[in-house]
Amino acid sequence: MPLRQSIFTLLEQAVLEAICRAHPADRTALEAQLSTATFRSRENTGCGFFTHFAADRNSSAPIGGERLRNGPTAKIDGMKYGMGFILWLEQGYADCLEGFAYGDDSTKELMFEAVCFEITEQPDC
């Protein structure tokens, strides 16, 4: 059976994998939710991006605790200061990945689908 093509860009995939590794108590549920997620929308705000998706609520039990999981930082080609990331949860299910620019970097001209990047720091948990 062919592997399911990801709805996420390479940057989003790397960030989400880092978030899953950094949150071991949530890892299995997050991976299940993300592997079955369906794309809703993607927006480059000029200060970062929002990628909205819907996790299959039958893929796992909801995750308890806070409504967010902090992500890593990344160096992004074309940005001086780089970006940070947050995975937002809605009622315990992964719902939105937010990328935000540090400093006065603009993301307006970036094409996140093709940007070169390096994950630079894991969040403290």
Residue 3 falls within a domain, yes or no? no
Residue 73 falls within a domain, yes or no? yes
Residue 84 falls within a domain, yes or no? yes
Residues 6+ apart with CB under 8 A from 33: 55, 56, 59, 60, 93, 94
* DSSP-H helix ranges across 2-108: 10-22, 27-35
* pTM of the complete model: 0.91
pLDDT of residue 125 exceeding 70: no
Cβ neighbourhood burial of 3 (10 Å; 0-12, 13-18, 19+): exposed
pLDDT digits (tens, 9 = 90+) for 11-69: 999 999 999 999 999 999 999 999 999 999 999 999 999 999 999 999 888 999 889 99
Per-residue tokens: 105: 């970097």
Residue 5 falls within a domain, yes or no? no
Structurally, the chain folds into a number of domains equal to: 1
Cβ neighbourhood burial of 87 (10 Å; 0-12, 13-18, 19+): buried
Supply the range of the domain harboring residue 102: 10-121
